[in-house]
Amino acid sequence: MKKKDERISLSTDIIEGIKSIKSLGWEKIFEKKINAIRNKEFKYIFSIRGLDALMSLFWNTIAHFLLFVFLICYVNGGHSLQDSNIFTIIALFTYLTFPIGIIPWAIGDFIRVLNSIKRIDLFLK
């Protein structure tokens, strides 16, 4: 968000002083400045989206992994696997998939909300 604010601030300054920039021939200078800030912002966005993809992959597979580990522990504990037991266990783990899968997005949204509240508070002060 800091890089985005920096880019928007520079763009606003350019729009306000466009007559001076045009008359002095500084278009290329300001274009380079804006592109440098955009490239930094893009790197942050790209890394955040990459982490989001990894988190999505992890959280989409965690329920299956937990089911596998639970079934192995269940069998090693001396219990027998019967059709009724397996289907009940799979159904219960299917119900757990959504609550487990939504945790990282809820945490990310909570952090974004806190960041937005701080930015609004700073703006209003």
pTM above 0.95, yes or no: no
- Please report the DSSP string for 14-42 in residue order: HHHTHHHHHHHT-HHHHHHHHHHHHHHHH
CA angle 70, 75, 77 (to 5 degrees): 95
pLDDT by residue for the chain (125 residues), tens only, comes to 677 777 778 788 777 777 777 778 878 888 888 888 888 888 888 998 898 888 878 877 877 888 888 889 888 988 888 877 788 888 888 887 777 778 877 888 898 899 889 989 988 98
* Cα distance between residue 85 and residue 91, in whole Å: 10
Number of domains in the chain: 1
